[in-house]
Structure 1
Amino acid sequence: MLRNFTRASSSLIRAGTAAENLSAEQIWQRRSKLRVPKLQKDEQLSSKVYFAAKEWELDKKANRDEGEVDPLKNYGMTPEKWRYYNTIVWPPNYTVPETGLPKTKEVFYCQENMHFSPKRMWTACQLIWKMNVDEALTQLDLQQLKSCTMLAETLRKAKQQAADEFHIEFPSQMYVADAFPVQSNIVKGARRHAHEDWNTIRYRYINIFVRLESGPPPNFKQRFAPKSGFDHMENYYDYLRSRQIKYSI
């Protein structure tokens, strides 16, 4: 058993060292292959990996409070679910079987109960998505918007958490893998206009979720790489060659 364990660990180390020699473009070429849709009958399941994490108490609410669980409340992503990913401990020198690359370092951070509109914060999150942390902070500081200021503060706290809590040596080499807001609460108020015209005011509060991942960012943000002019030219040539004359011999 010890011989099999040492053999498996040495193979993992060899795979990790071989993956370190790959360029950023080659790494993202491997990872982009996972985005290609496959039929269920063609999928190849990887071996099960055992990792250490705190057990989720299913008989309690998402915020760990006592009481009956209500599926209509606290559904979707919550700060407790997001921070749960920080407690997962993967095996040393773990290699992702789908890509053959070593497991990247990740930091999950959440800023709770920010008084702001989720729609306006979403545009700021799309600006820095799939961007280096330092470059994202520079772009946010150049924007004279409240959403960008709040998001920049959240990124700085996430970067500081990566250095202090997770002891990542170079947090500046991480990129923003995920950034999105989720509405957490609505406080309703009232505003009185002339002639006793009362209108409802909704004060919206959001949670900002940020995930930092080590390594170089991808070259494009979309699901697939954008087509160049030559690609569009080839598609147009294929269209011209595929034309047929109707009712021809």
Structure 2
Amino acid sequence: MASACLTMQRHLTRLLKRLPAGCQGQVYQGLHTSSVSLDRDRSSEDTKDFMGKMNGLDEYTYKGQSRFVDYNQIVYEPRKEGEDPRPAEICHKKVMIAVTPKKMWYPAFMVRGLSIDEAITQCEFSKKAAPKIIKDVLIEAQERAIKFFNVEYKSNLWIADSFVERCDYMESLVRRSRGGIRKIKYEYSNYYVRLREGQPPKHYYAPRLTGNEQLEEYIKEQRNRRIYNGL
């Protein structure tokens, strides 16, 4: 038992020596896993506000994040007489999601170009965490569209844009067998969505060219060839 403790102490000493001088104090504090210090330093109200920000509840005042929701404040010029009215656009986001961007990427791109009801239905089919989070964000954006953006029908919306970015990550130490120590990383993601009023387009992405269209494009490229600096 004593030899195992000495081995673990040596591993910790070697790991701490590799860190910069300014980070060593933070590592020593991070080794304390008890909640007594948290309860002593923070009141119940402060702890509740802190956990609310970490869960993305206070996402509109979260500092250091992208100002994606500021697109909601843009005021466009009035349309001319005879033009169609400009469809409403609603930008919404959720920050500090405890899912890696790699897992959030596929369902975020899956809902692009779908109607809001179809996107929510598609997210319900999966049992993974990422589609469920995206479904909750879509429902929140749908409610905001009705409440704050004067959208008449909540089903008359489609996903114009949906993407994910890496937010932040946290590193921690895990004790392994035989006195070993391994460093693990917890990654967080930010999810952004833009809803647009109206019916979704027939093709969100450019459709694949047919054989005749590919032939015409090839002939056009060949005829546009030029030999520079030639006779």
For normalisation by structure 2, the TM-score amounts to 0.61
- Separation of aligned partners in 2, 1:115 and 1:132: 26
- Separation of aligned partners in 1, 2:168 and 2:137: 19
1:29 corresponds to which residue? none
Query: Could you report, residue by residue, the CA deviation over 1:139-177 in whole angstroms, capped at 9, with x for unpaired residues?
Result: 111122211111001000000100011121012111101
Q: Partner of 1:176: helix, strand, or coil?
A: strand
- Cα pair 1:220 1:226 within 8 Å, conserved: no
Query: Could you report, residue by residue, the CA deviation over 1:93-118 in whole angstroms, capped at 9, with x for unpaired residues?
Result: 426xxxx6542210010112111111
Q: 1:107 aligned to 2:90?
A: yes
2:209 corresponds to which residue? 227
Alpha-carbon distance, 1:219 to partner: 2.0
- Separation of aligned partners in 2, 1:210 and 1:173: 16
Farther-moved stretch of structure 1 (224-233 vs 118-127): 224-233
- Cα pair 1:187 1:202 within 8 Å, conserved: yes
Q: Partner of 1:148: helix, strand, or coil?
A: helix
- Separation of aligned partners in 1, 2:168 and 2:135: 22
Instruction: State which of 132, 140, 143 in structure 1 corresponds to 2:115.
Output: 132
Instruction: State which of 46, 58, 75 in structure 2 corresponds to 1:89.
Output: 75
Alignment of 1:1-249 (within 5 A): 74=64, 78=66, 81-91=67-77, 93-94=78-79, 102-222=85-205, 224-232=206-214
2:209 corresponds to which letter in structure 1?
Answer: K
Query: Could you report, residue by residue, the CA deviation over 1:121-142 in whole angstroms, capped at 9, with x for unpaired residues?
Result: 0101111011111111111111
Task: Please say which structure displays the higher CA radius of gyration.
Answer: 2
Q: Partner of 1:172: helix, strand, or coil?
A: coil
Q: Partner of 1:171: helix, strand, or coil?
A: coil
Alpha-carbon distance, 1:233 to partner: 6.7
Alpha-carbon distance, 1:192 to partner: 1.6
Q: Which has the higher helix share?
A: 2
Query: Could you report, residue by residue, the CA deviation over 1:171-208 in whole angstroms, capped at 9, with x for unpaired residues?
Result: 21111011111222211111121222222111111111
Cα 1:227/1:107, change in 2 over 3 Å: same
- Cα pair 2:151 2:197 within 8 Å, conserved: no
- Separation of aligned partners in 2, 1:180 and 1:149: 15
Q: Partner of 2:162: helix, strand, or coil?
A: strand
Q: Partner of 1:94: helix, strand, or coil?
A: coil
- Separation of aligned partners in 2, 1:101 and 1:197: 67
Alpha-carbon distance, 1:216 to partner: 2.0
2:68 corresponds to which letter in structure 1?
Answer: W
Identity of aligned residues (%): 24
Alpha-carbon distance, 1:235 to partner: 6.6
Cα 1:145/1:228, change in 2 over 3 Å: farther
Cα 1:235/1:64, change in 2 over 3 Å: closer
- Separation of aligned partners in 2, 1:167 and 1:219: 25
Alpha-carbon distance, 1:232 to partner: 4.8
- Cα pair 1:187 1:203 within 8 Å, conserved: yes
